[in-house]
Amino acid sequence: MFKLTGKIAVITGGGSGIGKAISLLFAQSGAEVHILELNQEAASAVVDEINVNNGKAYAHGVDVSKQEEMLHVINGIGKVDILVNNAGIAHVGNLENCKAEDFERVYNVNVKGAYNALYSVIPLMKKQGGGAILNMASIAAQVGITDRFAYSMSKGAIAAMTLSVARDYIADGIRCNSISPARVHTPFVDGFIAKNYPGKEEEMFAKLAASQPIGRMAKPDEIASLALYLCADEAGFVTGNDYPIDGGFIKLNN
């Protein structure tokens, strides 16, 4: 089940964390994987790992916030069956701690980056007669999280764009869904803990882990498994939805 044989998958931010786990699993499941990454070295390392294991993958240096770069690379690939909009950055702070440049930085990557990929891929998918799109949202799109003003804004936009694209292109055979993870142990989490809570890393990690009723953070592989299902033909009846994968964060935190 859940084979992606013959499919071409574009994964943004596939050089690290969740995107890396998705890239490895999709390649293992038969897809030709194209990683679009700011960190080209990281993307190349993932591509090497895939190729060594007899998969097929390519690394493309792309800043998702730049539409010209995105269009150039996507049109060069030419055919895209699966798009995973995964690249994202964090900002910790409430509204008063969020300067205009913080807001714009998060917006440019998390919102405009996803829009740029959708804008580039949709015409190709329409021409091909279909495709599967998966956007990486967050529990921050569903519930109020302390000190995540800009980040929550960006993930709310992802949830809304998912619905809009799913509705507009349903007749073209294009499915569009999103995943909302709670905390996943990736360099993203380690990075914002190190940056925002220096000297209190262990305490903060334990606090974030305990905030999932299940008592830990997710592993990137657990998110990749859900991504595989949602992008596979077996999920052909699934569109216009968000799938929390959150260790009980949204519904069991009482």
Ligand X SMILES: NC(=O)c1ccc[n+]([C@@H]2O[C@H](COP(=O)([O-])OP(=O)(O)OC[C@H]3O[C@@H](n4cnc5c(N)ncnc54)[C@H](O)[C@@H]3O)[C@@H](O)[C@H]2O)c1
Catalytic residues: 151
Residue 67 engages ligand X in binding (rule: CB under 6 A): no
Which position among 49, 63, 172, 222 is part of the footprint of ligand X (CB under 6 A)?
63
Residue pair 56/33 in contact (Cβ under 8 Å)? The answer is yes
Which position among 33, 183, 193, 249 is part of the footprint of ligand X (CB under 6 A)?
183
φ, ψ at 3 (rounded to 5°): -85, 145
Task: Give the Cβ contact number of residue 183 at 10 Å.
Answer: 20
Residue 157 engages ligand X in binding (rule: CB under 6 A): no
Taking the C-alpha atoms of 168, 171, 173 and 174 in order, what is their torsion angle to the nearest 10 degrees? 0
Task: Give the Cβ contact number of residue 68 at 10 Å.
Answer: 9
Minimum CB–partner distance for residue 131 and ligand X (Å): 20
Minimum CB–partner distance for residue 180 and ligand X (Å): 7
Which position among 88, 131, 244, 247 is part of the footprint of ligand X (CB under 6 A)?
88
Q: Which is nearer to ligand X, 126 or 163 (CB)?
A: 163
Residue 16 engages ligand X in binding (rule: CB under 6 A): yes
* Site for ligand X, residues 123 to 142, rule: CB under 6 A: 136, 138
Rounded to whole angstroms, the Cα distance separating 36 from 15 reads 8
Task: Tell me how far CA of residue 136 lies from CA of 4, 13, 86, 160, in angstroms.
Answer: 19, 11, 5, 12
Residue 113 C-beta-side C-alpha neighbours within 13 Å: 28
Minimum CB–partner distance for residue 21 and ligand X (Å): 8
Report the interface residues with ligand X, using CB under 6 A: 12-13, 15-19, 37-39, 42, 62-65, 86-89, 109, 113, 136, 138, 181, 183-184, 186-189
